[in-house]
C-alpha cells in the first residue's frame, strides 16, 4: 500500500476484521454475514433558520442486530459520510461484544459544523434530526439507543430524549431511548468522563502485566511516563487529566485543531483546557512551545501516544515516523490498516480502539439499565451497607477497648469503611471490572496463540467469537 491508495475508514476496519477471521474457523458464509453492515438510513430534512430553509443530511447505520437494541453514538461534523458512519457502526458491534455490553452495533452522524450555530439553532436541528430517526424506530429504547460522540454532548442527548418522549407519551421507558444524558434528565453519574476513565483503566490494566509492558519496550508503572495526547475534547481531556492527576504520568504534548503544545516538564491539563475554552484554541497558551503543524507532534518522542480526536491520523504517510512504543487508540480508527501493518512490524504495541474507548458504551449500558429499572444504583443498599459496617466497627471497638490506643482503628480507615458505595463508586467499580476482564480476554489470545502477535487481532477474535455465538443461538 502507498500513501496514494490508503483504504477508506470502512475498508480499513474490514481489512483488520479479515486479518482476524483468516485465523478463525467460522462456519461458511458467517464471516460475510458478520462483516457487512445491515442497513444505513440517510435522512435529509429542512430547518428554517435565519429566515431561510437549510437542508441537512444525517445518517443512522445499523451494522449488526445479533443483539438488540443496537447502540452507538451520534457524531456532528462536516466530514460525516456514509463510509465513516458504517465503519463506526461496525466498530460498535465488535466493541460491545468485547466488553459484554448486550447490544448490536450502530452509529449516527449529521453533516454539520456545530460551531457555526448557536444553542437555540442546534436545538431545533437536533430535535428535527431526532424526529426523523425516532419515527423510523432508529431511536427506540428496545431497538436503537444513541449516545454522544464527536461534536455532541449531554446537551444534545437531553434534547433527543425529550423529543422521543414527546412523540411517545405513554412509553414508560422513554428515557432509555438515548444514553449520555445529564443527571437531571435520567443520566448516570460518571458517564461524561466514562470514555476517558476507561482509557485510564485500560492503561492501568496493561501496566499490571510486566510482560506486556516489556513487549512495548517499557518498564515500571505509569508514574513518570511521557504522554502525548491528540484532541483535548471529552475523551482526550478526561484521559489526560486522570493520568496526570492520579497516576503521575507527564503529559508532554497536546495536539489540537490549531496546533500542538509541547513541554518536556509536563503540561497542566486543566490549565490548557481552561485556556482552550476561553480562547477557542491552544495556540497562545503561555507555558509551552507551540507548533502550528500539530500533527507533526504525533511523531515526537514519548512513551505513550493517545490519539483521541479522529480517525486516520496515523497513516501510510507518517507511520514510519511514529516513535511512541505504546499507542492507545482513544479515538475510533486513528490508525489506518496500512499504518497498523507498519507499526506492528516495528514492534509498536497498540491497545486497540474497540477495547480502549469502550468505557463510554460500558457506562451507557449502566445508564440504560438504570433507566429501565427506574431507580438509581445503590439507592436500596447504601444505608443498609453502612449500618452493617457500623455494627462491625462498634464490635471491634468494644473488643479492643482494653488493648489500648495501639489497637484502635485509624480514623481514615473508619470513615472509609463506614461509607456505603454511591452511584458514582458503583459505576467506577463496574467500569474497572469490565476493562480488566476484557483485557484478560484479549491477552489470553495474544499470548496464548502462536499465530496472533498483536492485541488488535486478539480483540477482533475475542469479539467475533461472541458475535458468532449469538448468531448460532439465533439459529443462523
109 vs 378, beta carbon nearer ligand NAD: 109
Between residue 253 and residue 292, which ones bind ligand NAD under the rule CB under 6 A?
Answer: 255-257
Residue 435 binds ligand NAD (CB under 6 A) = no
For the chain, the maximum distance between any two Cα atoms, rounded to a whole number of angstroms, is: 83
- Helix pair angle (82-98, 359-373), 10° resolution: 70
- Which residue among 85, 272, 331, 445 contacts ligand NAD (CB under 6 A)? 331
Q: Is 232 in the site for ligand NAD (CB under 6 A)?
A: yes
235 binds ligand NAD (CB under 6 A): yes
Q: Is 351 in the site for ligand NAD (CB under 6 A)?
A: no
Among 40, 61, 189, 230, binds ligand NAD (CB under 6 A): 230
Quick check: 434 binds ligand NAD (CB under 6 A)?
Answer: no
Q: In angstroms, give the least distance from the CB of 458 to ligand NAD.
A: 20
Q: Closest separation between CB of residue 407 and ligand NAD, Å?
A: 48
Does the footprint of ligand NAD cover residue 324 (CB under 6 A)?
no
Q: Which residues of 100-118 are buried (b: 16+ CB within 10 A; e: fewer)?
A: ebebbbbbbbbbbebeebe
Least distance from ligand NAD to the Cβ atom of residue 475, Å: 32
The answer to whether residue 107 is catalytic is yes
Q: Which of 158, 201, 193 is nearest to 177 (CA)?
A: 158
Q: How far is the CB of 180 from ligand NAD (least distance, A)?
A: 7
What is each CA distance from 53 to 20, 50, 75, 97, in whole angstroms? Answer: 47, 8, 22, 42
Task: Let me know the angle formed at the C-alpha of 112 by 108 and 117, rounded to the nearest 5 degrees.
Answer: 130
Backbone region of residue 224 per phi and psi (left: phi > 0; alpha: psi in -120 to 50; beta: other values): left
CB of 170 to ligand NAD, least distance (A): 31
CA-based nearest residue to 177, from 376, 368, 370, 373: 368
61 binds ligand NAD (CB under 6 A): no
Stretch that binds ligand NAD, among 201-209, 230-238, 446-454, 461-469 (CB under 6 A): 230-238
CB of 282 to ligand NAD, least distance (A): 9
Number of residues engaging ligand NAD in binding (CB under 6 A): 24
- C-beta closer to ligand NAD: residue 141 or 146: 146
Residue 43 φ/ψ region, left for φ over 0, alpha for ψ in the -120 to 50 degree band, beta for the rest: beta
User: At its nearest, how many Å lie between ligand NAD and the CB of residue 231?
Assistant: 3
CB of 286 to ligand NAD, least distance (A): 19
Closest residue (Cβ) to ligand NAD?
233
**How far, in Å, CA of 204 to CA of 221, rounded?**
8
| One residue of 231, 312, 352, 378 binding ligand NAD per CB under 6 A | 231
Cell 484532541 found at: 231
Contacts 24+ apart (CB under 8 A), 31-39: 33/471, 33/476, 34/64, 34/93, 34/464, 34/467, 34/468, 34/471, 35/90, 37/61, 37/62, 37/63, 37/86, 37/89, 37/90, 38/62, 38/63, 38/64, 38/65
Q: Name the minimum Å distance from CB 233 to ligand NAD.
A: 2
CA 274 to chain centre: 23
Cα separation, 161 vs 175, whole angstroms:
6
**314 touching ligand NAD, by CB under 6 A:** no
CA 242 to centroid of chain Cα atoms = 15
Segment near ligand NAD (CB under 6 A); pick from 207-215, 217-225, 228-236, 391-399:
228-236
Q: Tell me: does residue 309 bind ligand NAD (CB under 6 A).
A: yes
Binding mask 68-107 for ligand NAD (x = CB under 6 A): ----------------------------------------
327 contributes a contact to ligand NAD by CB under 6 A: no
Among 227, 229, 308, 462, the residue binding ligand NAD under the rule CB under 6 A is: 308
403/190 Cα distance (integer angstroms): 43
DSSP strand pairing (39-49 vs 52-64): antiparallel
Residues of this chain, 168-197, that bind ligand NAD according to CB under 6 A:
195
For ligand NAD, which is the closer residue by CB, 75 or 204? 75
Cβ closest to ligand NAD, residue 71 vs residue 382: 71
Nearer to ligand NAD, 273 or 382 (CB): 273
Site string for ligand NAD, 121-160 (x = CB under 6 A): ---------------------------xxxx---------
- Of the residues 95, 107, 181, 370, which is catalytic? 107
Instruction: Identify which of residues 62 and 330 has a Cβ nearer to ligand NAD in the complex.
Output: 330
Positions annotated as catalytic residues are 107
Residues that bind ligand NAD (CB under 6 A): 148-151, 195, 230-236, 255-257, 294, 308-310, 330-332, 357, 360
Amino acid at each position: 500500500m502507498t500513501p496514494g491508495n490508503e483504504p477508506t475508514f470502512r475498508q480499513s476496519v474490514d481489512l483488520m476484521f479479515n486479518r482476524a477471521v483468516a485465523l478463525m474457523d467460522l462456519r461458511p458464509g458467517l464471516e460475510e454475514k458478520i462483516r457487512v453492515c445491515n442497513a444505513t438510513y440517510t435522512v435529509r430534512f429542512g430547518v428554517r433558520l435565519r429566515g431561510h430553509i437549510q437542508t441537512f443530511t444525517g445518517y443512522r447505520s445499523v451494522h449488526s442486530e445479533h443483539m438488540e437494541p443496537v447502540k452507538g453514538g451520534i457524531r456532528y461534523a462536516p466530514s460525516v459520510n456514509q463510509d465513516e458512519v458504517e465503519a463506526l457502526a461496525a466498530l460498535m458491534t465488535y466493541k460491545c461484544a468485547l466488553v459484554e455490553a448486550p447490544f448490536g452495533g450502530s452509529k449516527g452522524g449529521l453533516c454539520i459544523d456545530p460551531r457555526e450555530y448557536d444553542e437555540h439553532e442546534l436545538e431545533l436541528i437536533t430535535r428535527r434530526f431526532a424526529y426523523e430517526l425516532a419515527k423510523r424506530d432508529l431511536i427506540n429504547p428496545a431497538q436503537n439507543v444513541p449516545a454522544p460522540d464527536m461534536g455532541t454532548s449531554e446537551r444534545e442527548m437531553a434534547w433527543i430524549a425529550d423529543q422521543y418522549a414527546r412523540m411517545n407519551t405513554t412509553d414508560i421507558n422513554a428515557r432509555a431511548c438515548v444514553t449520555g444524558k445529564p443527571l437531571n434528565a435520567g443520566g448516570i453519574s460518571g458517564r461524561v468522563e466514562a470514555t476517558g476513565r476507561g482509557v485510564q483503566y485500560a492503561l492501568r490494566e496493561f501496566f499490571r502485566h510486566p510482560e506486556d509492558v516489556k513487549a512495548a519496550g517499557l518498564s515500571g508503572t505509569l508514574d513518570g511516563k511521557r504522554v502525548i495526547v491528540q484532541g483535548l475534547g471529552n475523551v482526550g481531556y478526561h484521559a489526560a487529566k486522570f493520568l496526570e492527576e492520579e497516576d503521575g504520568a507527564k503529559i508532554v504534548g497536546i495536539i489540537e485543531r490549531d496546533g500542538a503544545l509541547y513541554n518536556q516538564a509536563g503540561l497542566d491539563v486543566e490549565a490548557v483546557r481552561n485556556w482552550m475554552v476561553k480562547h477557542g484554541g491552544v495556540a497562545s497558551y503561555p507555558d509551552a512551545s507551540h507548533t502550528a503543524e500539530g500533527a507533526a507532534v504525533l511523531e515526537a518522542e514519548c512513551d505513550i501516544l493517545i490519539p483521541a480526536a479522529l480517525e486516520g491520523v496515523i497513516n501510510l504517510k507518517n507511520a514510519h515516523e511514529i516513535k511512541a512504543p505504546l499507542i492507545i487508540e482513544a479515538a475510533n480508527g486513528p490508525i489506518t490498516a496500512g499504518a497498523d501493518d507498519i507499526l506492528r512490524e516495528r514492534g509498536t504495541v497498540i491497545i486497540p480502539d474497540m477495547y480502549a474507548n469502550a468505557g463510554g458504551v460500558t457506562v451507557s449500558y449502566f445508564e440504560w439499565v438504570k433507566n429501565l429499572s427506574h431507580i438509581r444504583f445503590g439507592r436500596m443498599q447504601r444505608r443498609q451497607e453502612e449500618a452493617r459496617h457500623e455494627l462491625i466497627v462498634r464490635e471491634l471497638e468494644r473488643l479492643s477497648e482494653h488493648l489500648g490506643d495501639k489497637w484502635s482503628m485509624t480514623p481514615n480507615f473508619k470513615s472509609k469503611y463506614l461509607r456505603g458505595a454511591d452511584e458514582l463508586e458503583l459505576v467506577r467499580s463496574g467500569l474497572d471490572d469490565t476493562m480488566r476482564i476484557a483485557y484478560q480476554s484479549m491477552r489470553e489470545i495474544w499470548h496464548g496463540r502462536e499465530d496472533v502477535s498483536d492485541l488488535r487481532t486478539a480483540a477482533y477474535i475475542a469479539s467475533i467469537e461472541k458475535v458468532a455465538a449469538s448468531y448460532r443461538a439465533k439459529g443462523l
